[in-house]
Amino acid sequence: GANNMSAKLVLLGDMGAGKSSMVLRFVRGQFFEYQESTIGAAFFSQTLALNETTIKFEIWDTAGQERYHSLAPMYYRGAAAAIVVYDITSLDSFNRAKKWVQELQRQGNPNMVMTLAGNKADLTAKRKVELEEAQAYATENGLFFIETSAKTAQNVNELFYDIAKRVLKA
Ligand code: GTP
Ligand code: MG
């Protein structure tokens, strides 16, 4: 009916940041310590209900390995939402996330709902990226920001529900 919509959502970020793990946690409620690195991209769909509306996410989980970078525009083109993921224990992954944000700002859909997600929030003892630093960067760039853990499920459903709400308003 009129209250059912679908939305293309893409995950981008460095290899090993936990994109696939976040999607598997959200879609299947699963987590694997030895998650395989994604080749090319993987597709998932999941429907969320918000009051009278259902939103079907068509999720593209992209591969973070550099050799797949050139494929990324196929996945973010026409996307209603993007999650740029980094690993809070890796400064390199945070810097890579900033590059993705720049690329999306230049070449992505201008109405795209963008979220910066600091994943592996369970690994506090190994933290390299301070929450305040990431929050400040997100605010400067007009992004929503959240820290998640695919392992413990912290904030994973919250992240997708928040995106659904913002996509419906956009
Ligand atoms: P590519 O597909 O290569 O781009 O990587 P990815 O971003 O999909 O990362 P993936 O989900 O494959 O996770 C990489 C590794 O980090 C795996 O060994 C996961 O088990 C682990 N991992 C993912 N999320 C978390 C988390 O929240 N906490 C912890 N402790 N480990 C995690
Ligand atoms: Mg992956």
pLDDT digits (tens, 9 = 90+) for 33-67: 999 999 999 999 999 999 889 999 999 999 999 99
The rounded distance, in Å, linking the Cα atoms of 95 and 102 is 11
3-state helix, strand, coil in the chain (%, to 5): 40, 30, 35
pLDDT band at 2 (very low <50, low <70, confident <90, very high): low
Residues with CB under 6 A from ligand 1: 13, 15-21, 32-35, 37-38, 63-65, 119-120, 122-123, 149-151
Name the residue type at position 111. N
107 closest CA partner among 140, 78, 67: 78
Q: Which atom of ligand 1 is nearest to the CA of 121?
A: 27
Q: Which atom of ligand 1 is nearest to the CA of 11?
A: 7
**Ligand in closest contact with the CA of 65:** 1
Name the residue type at position 15. M
The rounded distance, in Å, linking the Cα atoms of 57 and 118 is 21
Neighbouring residues of the ion ligand 2, judged by CB less than 5 Å: 19-20, 38
Chain segment 64-82, per-residue pLDDT in tens: 999 999 999 999 999 999 9
The pTM score is 0.98
